[in-house]
Structure 1
Amino acid sequence: MATHGNRRTPERAGARQRVTAGRAELVPDPARPHGWTLLADGVPQSYVDLADPEYLEFGYVKLIARALSSWARSGVPERVLHLGGGGLTVPRLAARWWPDVAQVVVELDGELIAMVRRELPPERPLEIVVGDAREAVERAATEGYDVIVADAFSGAAMPGHLGTVEFARQLRRILRPDGLLIMNVTDVPPMAFTRVQVATVAAAFAEVGLLGDQAVVRGRRAGNVIVLAGRVPPLRMSRDERLLREGELVVFSSGARPRMDAKR
């Protein structure tokens, strides 16, 4: 029997609008009554199911969620920092899992985050900071967060000032000793950017891992991978996934130089 799908219309006020970074649009999912895709300049950026925050459409978000849940087996997070807001998919999930968790979301595009909060309001309050992720991190208190989810992009790329050793050291400073950094990275074969990013994070953290689809990690196709740092938890892998740690990760990033801030 066919589903009636989502009958809310994107033509209503606010569902399409110009934002700081371009044009944002909310498109209803015809297969899920409460599902929405957030598009930025026509490219899918986030997926949200208002009735079921645990339904995750994008593969890389599923990897983030698995890392979160695996880390939390030894304790519930009290404070989580999200660098990059988008549709607030991961903050909604964390709020569903841990209703008392305090969450801060830093999003550069104030018009985008205002649209998301208005059209797809989260079920629990979030602290939203409109501004640059690096500036917010540099102002944050030392050891102030249990988990940091770094998912900030300018178009399809991580902003350069968020991919340096100096920034990674700031992330380590504000992360609690047993905390977890989860960083989303998108790349294309032969994964040169990811190799540099792994080396960059490893220059600041003693323990680092790389999680992703096996074909992406091996440089056979483009996609997203997740850099983990801090207390990297054991994760159960499917046959199509890889988690590189220790020696395997050293081999993966061999020859890659950590990226430093540009000299001024």
Structure 2
Amino acid sequence: MDGSPQSHVQPDDPTLLVFEYVQHLALAIAALSPGPLGVTHVGGAGLTLPRWVEATRPGSPQIVLEPDAALTELVRREIPLPRRHRIRVRPVDGLTGVRALKPGSADVVATDAYAAGRVPAELAGTAYAHEVARVLRPDGVALWNLADEPGLRWVARVVATVASTLPHVALIATHEVLKGRRFGNSVLVAGASPLPVEALRRDVARAHLPTGLREGVALTRFLAGARPFGVTGEPSPPPPEAGRWRVR
């Protein structure tokens, strides 16, 4: 999509996740209590993560908010969903779709939506964060897939914005991204209740790619000076040209 690889689906093995940020989203969900989960996905694309949830937590009711109806039709035709799934796709944008959901209706809200290679501004502001918090159950977890330049200053502002509503936060990314060596993706994990930090640490340590977890004091230091966005945020920085993602 928009000139960049956007989804990878392994039809005969939905547990095979190729993109690093999808692995990190799954890692955060895997740290939650066993059993089916009510999951809302903001951004659908190839439905990779919903397929993974269905495979690892059968019977989970899932809502996917994907405004590109033509893309959804293509995906359904070329890569059909498994039989007896409980995945429902709604052709609406994230903010509109989340506003229409009932309070306390989701265990997980996973935001992975891009337009022209950038996270839309409205998914980084306080209005969206408040709606996500409203939809989450008291012990629910919200996830954001965020792309940023080395230094992660835009990510820091999003984390600061979300933390004003969901005060328990953590950040997962490869060591290269956390150390500022390349443009890349980070996964923000947030909740109104304490996060399963020990499980996250354990699973991060076992990740296929060298991956780090920032939380507690380390994350507080990272956020120093980060100014939260207002009602509407700002879009993520544009991705660099091909071959220029690494800075050193």
Distance across 1 between alignment mates of 2:3 and 2:173: 25
Does the 8 Å CA contact 1:210/1:226 hold for their aligned counterparts?
Answer: yes
Distance across 1 between alignment mates of 2:231 and 2:155: 17
Using the TM superposition, give the Cα deviation of residue 41 of structure 1 relative to its aligned residue in structure 2, in angstroms. Answer: 3.6
1:106-157 deviation line (CA, Å, top 9, x unaligned): 0011111111111111102421100111011111111000111110111211
Residue in structure 2 matched with residue 150 of structure 1 by the alignment: 111
Does the 8 Å CA contact 2:36/2:58 hold for their aligned counterparts?
Answer: no
Larger Rg belongs to: 1
- Aligned length, in residue pairs: 222
Does the 8 Å CA contact 1:63/1:212 hold for their aligned counterparts?
Answer: yes
3-state SS of paired residue (1:186)? strand
- Note the 1:92-111 alignment, pairs <5 A: 92-111=51-70
Residue in structure 2 matched with residue 201 of structure 1 by the alignment: 162
Does the 8 Å CA contact 1:77/1:147 hold for their aligned counterparts?
Answer: no
1:64-95 deviation line (CA, Å, top 9, x unaligned): 11111112xx2424311000001000000000
Please give the TM-score of this superposition, normalised by the length of structure 1.
0.80
- Note the 1:34-53 alignment, pairs <5 A: 40-53=1-14
Please give the TM-score of this superposition, normalised by the length of structure 2.
0.85
Does the 8 Å CA contact 2:41/2:63 hold for their aligned counterparts?
Answer: yes
What is the CA RMSD across the aligned residues, in angstroms? 1.6
3-state SS of paired residue (2:31)? helix
Using the TM superposition, give the Cα deviation of residue 262 of structure 1 relative to its aligned residue in structure 2, in angstroms. Answer: 4.8
Residue in structure 2 matched with residue 22 of structure 1 by the alignment: none
Identity of aligned residues (%): 36
Task: Kindly report structure 1 stretches of 4+ aligned residues shifted beyond 6 Å.
Answer: none
Structure 2 residue ranges without an equivalent (≥5): 234-248
One-letter amino acid of the counterpart of residue 70, structure 2: E
3-state SS of paired residue (1:221)? coil
Does the 8 Å CA contact 1:166/1:261 hold for their aligned counterparts?
Answer: yes
Select the residue among 127, 148, 151 that pairs with 1:187.
148
Residue in structure 1 matched with residue 178 of structure 2 by the alignment: 217
Structure 1 residue ranges without an equivalent (≥5): 1-39
Using the TM superposition, give the Cα deviation of residue 189 of structure 1 relative to its aligned residue in structure 2, in angstroms. Answer: 1.1
- Note the 1:1-264 alignment, pairs <5 A: 40-71=1-32, 74-123=33-82, 124-230=85-191, 231-234=194-197, 235=200, 236=202, 237-238=204-205, 240-262=210-232
Using the TM superposition, give the Cα deviation of residue 251 of structure 1 relative to its aligned residue in structure 2, in angstroms. Answer: 0.8
3-state SS of paired residue (1:134)? helix
Distance across 1 between alignment mates of 2:8 and 2:196: 26
Which structure has more RCO (C-alpha within 8 Å, separation ≥ 6)? 2
One-letter amino acid of the counterpart of residue 254, structure 1: A
One-letter amino acid of the counterpart of residue 200, structure 1: T
Distance across 2 between alignment mates of 1:220 and 1:49: 30
Distance across 1 between alignment mates of 2:105 and 2:180: 36
